[in-house]
A and B are shown apart, each in its own frame.
Chain A
Amino acid sequence: MRSIGLTALLLWSLPALAGDWRADLQVAVAAMDADLIAEVEAQTPIRTRAGFLRVIGPGWEDPALQPWYLEQVLDDDVDPAWQAAFAEQLARQLVDEPSSPWHEAWVELASTHPEARVREVLITGLRHAPLALVEVGMVPALRHEHAPTRRMAALEIGMSNEASLASEVRPLLDDADAGVRGNAARTLGIFKDAGAVDGLIGLLNDENGEVRLHALRAVHRIDASRAGELAPALVHDSEARVARLANKIITGG
């Protein structure tokens, strides 16, 4: 599922995602097995060690539940913690399907769902999706007004390894939110985006230590010799991890 070629690009192209999924959803839910709905509604997700909910078990993996998951995700009366669990499960199923009527819903909701935690899991779920879905789902999230959503999109684009999206990430180096700047720097470093080096060097003076850390590492990943030139100025950085990385770059450790 990670690599994407021309065929996949065609399969996942934007026009294919332009259906009226909300109307389709009503039809699909109406067609669902009432017994299955009754059964799933009687279940409770497990609580992870971190405290959030997750659905694990063969019953939850039934593709026939996808319309129900989507309906729950859209239902304002459903607890956002449960919505997030269902959204995560939906994304986990959809990423394995080459085509689905709910792909459009997934990528749309990744940046439009009113609950931040739901947007987050939908964005995270796109990590292993083909480029077309990553692009349609994550790029709008990079522009979201809610900083944590931008942070997550900036991070997960990097985790998707889709370097062709680097130009979409670059503007976030100037984001008002330090977490967004840091994740953008990190992602551009993973992408080895030479076009980002000047912006990354500018972030070496960022007031936030985490941002300086990601920027220095990103420069190192893109142009190790340039990082070697810059590192001496950071060996006494107030952020211990920056100083540590600078020393490591200098010593070649």
Chain B
Amino acid sequence: MRWSSCLMLAALVACSSSADADKDDAPSTTSETDAPADTDPGDEDTDTDSDKDTDEDVEPAEFSAPDEVAGVPNIDDDNQNNRSDWRDGWKPNFEDDYAEMVITPRPLGFLTGVEGIRLELMGNVQQLRIWQEGDADTPVLGGGTNEVVLPYSEEPLVLYAEFKDFLTSGILTVSEVNADGEPFLTHDITLIAAPMLLNHHLQPADMVYAVEVGASWWGPGNDNFIDGLSDALGPNHFTPVNGNQYGQDVWMQDEFEFANVTGAQGEAITVVIDSIRDRGLDDFSENALEGADVAGVTFGSGWGSSQDSFGNLETSPPLTAGGISYPFGRTYYGSVQGNYGMHPQMEQALDDQLAQAPFQLDTRFLCVGHIDEVTSFIPDPTAPRGFRFVMADIDEGIAVLESMDPNTSLPMYQGGQSHGISDVDEMLNDAALLALNEELRDDWLEPMLETFIQELELTEDEILRLPSYFEVAPQCGGATASLIPGMVNLQVADVADGSDPHIFLADPFMRSNTNNQAGDAFIDAVTDLFPEALQLHFIDDFSTYHLALGEVHCGTNVVRAPDPSPWWDVARDLLGLPVIKKGN
């Protein structure tokens, strides 16, 4: 017999009830109110094997209900009425984002005086609703009603929990009561909605998007870029977006960040975090993505700095660091410390999700200021943790330059329209340019790498140093951008079709023959550096992206399949979900 006593604490649920994460569909027994109570909040017993053995000695369930329900916030628009389903306020038949709870009362309860089933809701009651099967108009709980007594029936009581927001939590207390409302048996159900989990590069790619802009006399097109993606991925995994509809805004990465929420009963919603950047692509998510099982959310409002673009918001693969397991990776983003960063509400929203423990890097040395300009992750099955961290590296850039014939002409870099550099010798022997790059290395990139090493416990073996070289970019107040197209600004697309993951990188064009990548020393260096089990595609982003201060990652975005790991199990500690408490 157990007595469950639950308290809602400010941060999350702090509940002493039994709440095995994997028992959502495995009803447990209730507790008799006159049973000995374990109400000691300092009891830190955890769910050990021996405890589980003890569980098996508990009397068979007479009144069964789940201990915990892990659902999803009902933020999508299943009925396609251009309003989030939570805001609709009723339960449409086709709703698929409710979490079911089956409560089976004791048989013949009326013989012992049971008259009703009382439901009490505690916690974020303004963000929770409890629906009863067959009742499509009003919830039995929520909307100001936090307690209700339903007539007793031996038939299973089928309820549904609806959550308004990420990590909305509460306790549903279910009691068999007599005619005076006095409880015979009580059971607490922990209700918890999923955190918003940002995607990382190891998740399979469902669809890659890029904006297509036609070449004209007055503007560079990106035919080669689109063809490179299309040829590799095919129509099932690549969608070009008509730039004419979106103001020729090619920065697909910057307008959205894709995330996922999942529930224990198979619920899944793709989350599109729509940046307050609000340039040409602002309406794309609403027009082309959002609807049933795809929800748009925005954090903050008003003017967005460059740091509010989501090339500046990335997530590592799953890892353990500092003795803490991060099963969904860690989120990181660039900021200009002491000046400005992401919108405070965006930063707060990331912090609030708890599971991906965000950290910041100082990116003020970059004109655009996005963390994806200098760092990335790629999958590698041969790596200790299944990934490699990729970082822009000046010394490697210099080494590759020094390995080249200094007389190698660089047609793509020549002329005022480009970088005004004729050949390798001119690039390498520009003392001021070299000095600038040494400063970037010493003052910014090395400290940044040290932060990554510290925060993610990266080992030297996990780090791939990509040859890179920077310049002071015009119109940037002295800040910098890639001189050689930034290959680190890459896109990963593992389309899970049995082939090796695709890696799309900027063609560096460090060669005389721009039409032939063979013999390009920078391509060769990166090819040698990267794992063999990857399909590398060096695609032409020079005019449309590179000269406009972006590269491949900036110009693409990927909808990824949710990480199937059960957050309600593997991220319990990070989320502050209750540990198992044991009574007698």
List of A residues within 8 angstroms of B103 by Cβ: none
Q: Which of A6-14, A67-75, A117-125 contacts B (4 or more CB under 8 A)?
A: A117-125
Per-residue CB proximity of A88-106 to B under 8 Å, as 1/0?
1001111110000000000
A156–B217 CA distance with the chains assembled, in angstroms: 32
Check if B381 is an interface residue, CB within 8 A of chain A.
Answer: no
Inter-chain CB contacts under 8 Å: number: 133
A1 in contact with B420 (CB, 8 Å): yes
Q: Report if A54-B218 is in contact (Cβ < 8 Å); known contacts: A151-B478, A152-B477, A217-B439.
A: no
Smallest CB separation, A52 vs chain B (Å): 5
In the complex, what residues of A have CB within 8 A of residue B368's CB? 48-50
Nearest CB on B from A243, distance (A)? 11
Distance, CA A240 to CA B547, complexed state (A): 33
Residue of B nearest to A62 (CB): B217
Which B residue sits closest to A213, measured CB to CB? B443
**Chain A residues near B447 (CB, 8 Å)?**
240-241, 244
Are A49 and B433 in contact (CB-based, < 8 A)?
A: no
A residues 152-201 near B (Cβ < 8 Å) are 152, 155-156, 158-161, 183, 186, 189-190
Known A2-B430, A49-B549, A50-B368: A88·B474 in contact at CB below 8 Å: yes
Determine how close the nearest CB of chain B comes to the CB of A192; give it in whole angstroms: 9
Q: Which residues of B contact A92 (CB under 8 A)?
A: 415-417, 420
Q: Let me know if A183 and B478 touch, CB within 8 A.
A: yes
> CB distance A51 to B306 under 8 Å?
yes
User: Inside 8 A of B367's CB, which chain A residues have their CB?
Assistant: 50
Q: Verify B547–A54 contact, CB threshold 8 A.
A: yes
CA distance A158 to B436 in the complex (A): 10
Report the Cα distance A84→B475, complex, angstroms: 8
Closest to B479 in A: A50
CB-based contact A96/B416 at 8 Å? yes
Cβ-closest chain B residue relative to A97: B416
Contact with B along A46-62 (1 / 0, CB 8 A): 11111110101111110
Which residues of the partner chain A approach B11 to less than 8 Å between Cβ atoms?
A: none
Asked if B324 is an interface residue, CB under 8 A from chain A, the answer is: no
Q: Do residues B474 and A56 form an inter-chain contact, with CB atoms below 8 A?
A: no
Instruction: List residues 213-244 of chain A with CB under 8 A from any CB of chain B.
Output: 213, 217, 221, 240-241, 244
The CA-CA distance from A189 to B450 in the complex, in Å, is 27
**Nearest-Cβ distance from residue A40 to partner chain B, whole angstroms:** 8
Interface centre among B218, B442, B473, B548 (most CB of A within 10 A): B218
Select B475's contact among A52, A56, A96, A240, beta carbons within 8 Å: A52
Q: Check A59–B217 contact: CB distance below 8 A.
A: yes
Q: Tell me the nearest residue of chain B to A187, going by C-beta.
A: B432
- Across-interface contacts of A217 in B (CB, < 8 A): 439
**Which chain B residues border A59 with CB–CB below 8 Å?**
216-218
| The one of B248, B254, B417, B474 that contacts A61, using a Cβ cutoff of 8 Å | B417
Say if the beta carbon of B127 comes within 8 Å of chain A. Answer: no
Cβ distance A41 to chain B, nearest Cβ, rounded Å = 11
Measured CA separation A93–B254 after assembly (Å): 31
| Chain B CB within 10 A, most for which of A47, A50, A57 | A50
A49/B254 contact (C-beta < 8 A), A2-B430, A96-B415 known? yes
Is A248 among interface residues, defined by CB-CB distance under 8 A? yes
Residues of A within 8 A of B436 (CB): 159
Chain B residues near A244 (CB, 8 Å)? 442-443, 446-447
- Please determine whether A124 and B220 come into contact, CB atoms closer than 8 angstroms: no
Point out which of B311, B443, B475, B477 has the most chain A C-beta atoms below 10 A from its C-beta.
B475
- Flag whether B506 is at the interface (Cβ < 8 A): no
Contact of A46 with B248 in the complex, beta carbons under 8 Å: yes
The answer, among B280, B426, B439, B549, for a CB contact under 8 Å with A2, is B426
| Residue in A57, A59, A121 whose Cβ sees the most chain B Cβ within 10 Å | A57
Are B475 and A117 neighbours in the complex by a CB distance under 8 Å? yes
Whether the Cβ atoms of A120 and B217 lie closer than 8 Å is no
Which chain B residue has the least Cβ–Cβ distance from A154? B478
B219 interface contact, C-beta 8 A: yes
Q: Is the CB of A54 within 8 A of B432?
A: no
Counting CB contacts under 8 A, is B360 at the interface? no
How distant is the Cα of A150 from the Cα of B319 in the complex, in angstroms?
Answer: 47
Point out the residues of chain B lying under 8 angstroms from A148, CB to CB. 477
Chain B hits for A121, CB < 8 A = 474-475
Known: A46-B219, A183-B478. A128 touches B254 (CB 8 A): no
Q: Mark B287-317, 1 if CB is under 8 A from A, else 0.
A: 0000000000000000000100101000000
Would you call B70 an interface residue if the criterion is a C-beta within 8 Å of the partner chain's C-beta atoms?
Answer: no
Bound form: Cα–Cα A50–B549 in Å: 7
Chain B interface extent, by class: 35 or more
Cα distance A96–B447 in the bound complex, in angstroms:
38
| Cβ-closest chain A residue relative to B304 | A51
* A48: chain B residues within 8 A (beta carbon): 368, 475, 548-550
Within 8 A of A (CB), among B229-277: 248-249, 251, 254
Q: Are B474 and A124 in contact (CB under 8 A)?
A: yes
The answer to whether B442 touches A245 (Cβ under 8 A) is yes
Q: Verify A56–B443 contact, CB threshold 8 A.
A: no
Question: In whole Å, how far is B427's beta carbon from the nearest beta carbon of chain A?
Answer: 11
- In the bound complex, how far is the Cα of B237 from the Cα of A28, in angstroms? 53
Are A93 and B416 in contact (CB-based, < 8 A)? yes
Minimum distance in angstroms from A87 CB to a CB of chain B: 10
Query: Which residues does chain A contribute within 8 Å of B311, judged by CB atoms?
Result: 49
Cβ of B10 under 8 Å from chain A? no
Output the least CB separation between A44 and chain B (Å): 8
Judging by beta carbons under 8 Å apart, are A57 and B218 in contact?
Answer: yes
Contact indicator A50/B306 (Cβ below 8 Å): yes
Q: Is the CB of A43 within 8 A of B218?
A: yes
Is B9 close to A, CB under 8 A? no
Q: Which residues of B contact A183 (CB under 8 A)?
A: 478
Instruction: Indicate whether B121 reaches chain A with its CB closer than 8 angstroms.
Output: no
B472 and A159: CB pair below 8 A?
Answer: yes
Question: What's the minimum C-beta distance from A126 to chain B, rounded to whole angstroms?
Answer: 11
Inside 8 A of A60's CB, which chain B residues have their CB?
218, 417
Q: Shortest CB–CB separation between residue B98 and chain A, in angstroms?
A: 41
- CB-defined interface of B127-157 with A at 8 Å, one 1/0 digit per residue? 0000000000000000000000000000000
Q: Complex: how many Å from CA A244 to CA B220?
A: 43
Contacts of B431 in A (CB 8 A): 161, 190
Determine how close the nearest CB of chain B comes to the CB of A78; give it in whole angstroms. Answer: 16
Q: How far is the CA of A96 from the CA of B417 in the complex (A)?
A: 10
CB distance from A60 to the nearest CB of B (A): 7
Docked-complex contact A49 and B550, CB < 8 angstroms: yes
Scoring A residues 129 to 163 as 1 if CB is less than 8 Å from chain B, else 0, what string do you get? 00000000000000000001001100110111100
B417 in contact with A159 (CB, 8 Å): no
- Name, among A152, A190, A213, the residue most crowded by chain B CB atoms within 10 Å (CB to CB): A190
Contacts of A50 in B (CB 8 A): 306, 367-369, 473, 475-476, 549
A128-B420, A158-B432 known; A49 vs B415 contact (CB < 8 Å) = no
Chain A residue contacts of B370, Cβ below 8 A: 49
**Which residues of chain A have a CB within 8 Å of any CB of chain B?**
1-2, 39-40, 43, 46-52, 54, 56-61, 84, 88, 91-96, 117, 120-121, 124-125, 127-128, 148, 151-152, 155-156, 158-161, 183, 186, 189-190, 213, 217, 221, 240-241, 244-245, 248
Known: A92-B415, A121-B475. 9 other contacts (CB 8 A): A43-B218, A56-B544, A88-B475, A93-B416, A96-B415, A128-B420, A189-B435, A244-B442, A245-B442
8 nearest A-B pairs in the assembled complex, by CB-CB distance: A92-B416, A49-B550, A59-B217, A59-B218, A48-B548, A49-B549, A43-B218, A124-B474
11 example contacts (A-B, Cβ-Cβ < 8 A) are as follows A43-B219, A46-B544, A47-B548, A48-B475, A48-B550, A49-B251, A51-B306, A57-B216, A159-B472, A221-B435, A244-B443
